[in-house]
Structure 1
């Protein structure tokens, strides 16, 4: 392995991240606009980028590391299996100010498998360990791994612990475990998030057997009450789809899970604070629907939420759409019901 063309790791010590609650990396969903929106509701949640491949960062034409400074604490999730490339991308991420780099060992899609990364890497723990080692050599920010509990017929507890021990031996001390195995053939990525049964007990057992590791759990968590139950035996909870489709769940994360005594932001305040961000995006030539597609679930479950969603869906994509579309959509939400929900 030749890392001679990559600078040595930084000497600046880093503050350890709070992994109590994090939002999962979700392709096409957790872009920088969603992350800005999420940060308005929770100061403590650890945010993750969408998975970005090393090839995109090193050879792509766009800036795949761009983010808003308000998003911190922020982790970059990388997809790849070449240690030198992963180290190069990790160094770039550290230079750009990311707080963590996470290696994807959980995505089961065919495209990802063809690139020899994602969940299929569970079958190659020595390679994952080499990748982690190379990444750690170039930075002091945390290098973490997100993985499954198994793949295909390799789904024994021994298989999982062998993987964890091998990767931990190279210095990875924080793992996020999606509590389902992945079927690499026969199921779509969406089906792999729903069909393989959840096995929370296996993740709990992992923490009992390796108490020195930081273990977070992911998969099927829909409420903060459920999150509290998982946090009793574990170090952290990662929530994906629910945090996107019902984003106002984030408004009480700091208070209920992180012990922060601060006012709970209202939905109306969220919209008010999003407006300057939207205007700045539009002023730079962006489209309104680049942002509104992420906030469409803000009023989930309230009277008038259907009107809110419909107005945004029908109008935000239009060429001259501006913040007035958002303000008009908000009028569909029953003001009294909104007030009662926040009382």
Structure 2
């Protein structure tokens, strides 16, 4: 197994934990991320990435462009990746999980379609790794209630519950930042891909790692403080002009047919200006189509806008449709091939990933108990 080392010792500031980042802090984070990218290009072996999502539905175009493509890139560079299907997190803000096993299968098929290789990337489910979740107990002792209350996700959930008149926040949601830290630290990941707006979310994990080391292993830090690998995560809009979302039904799923893809682009909102320009703030719908088209055409939104120019939105939709259909074709083929092998094939992939994650989590928990003087 690769030796994963800490890559940063800079302390998380209280302002960062509170979800407030100064302009200079953001710039420093981008500089740090750029340096990490250079290190990865030179030698990927010291790095271990933890990333993933909640299985609340099949993945769509927004997931593909914002996160999946980056994971495939890092995998191709030789970075070790742990990809968590966070099934426990489904019930943080809902009363029932629904057909969770069915959704997990669909998400796994989407991973395979996008190019995730289960031989190179460890894919596992939250609930299958008991030792990971057991780490929450000592980790909870390292944070305060006030810090949890100030976490951006917890604050947003509190505001949303009050606005909608919903029941009080669940304890699982309230402790979500610590659960996230356990996800990252159980495998001693030292890199977490995030968007710039997600930087504050990582600070609780960094603080927990630092505080554990200070309290229980001061001479030889045990947990690395995970660094942010900042990725550009454009907000992909649905065909109604709102953010693409599983719940809104406005997206294009990776598993969609070619005909559905054509209809999606055809229905996408544009504007009344004929000349095509890339201006995300002023012309978000046009910019969205340019972003999607450029991603699959292997160019930039600006270059694509210049190519279409005065030909108008009709021509833009034609170009985007062609790029999207061709770009998604190999993914749909991979997805169909994986699905044709039956549920046993998918279960075997998860079984291997779950077992590897369990083995690592068990060792980490044993180490933590030993450092805390709890080995009897």
**TM-score of the pair, normalised by structure 2:** 0.28
Larger Rg, first or second structure (1 or 2): 2
**TM-score of the pair, normalised by structure 1:** 0.31
Give the number of the structure whose residues are more often strand, by fraction. Answer: 1
Query: Highest relative contact order (Cα 8 Å, sep 6+), 1 or 2?
Result: 2
Give the number of the structure whose residues are more often helix, by fraction. Answer: 2
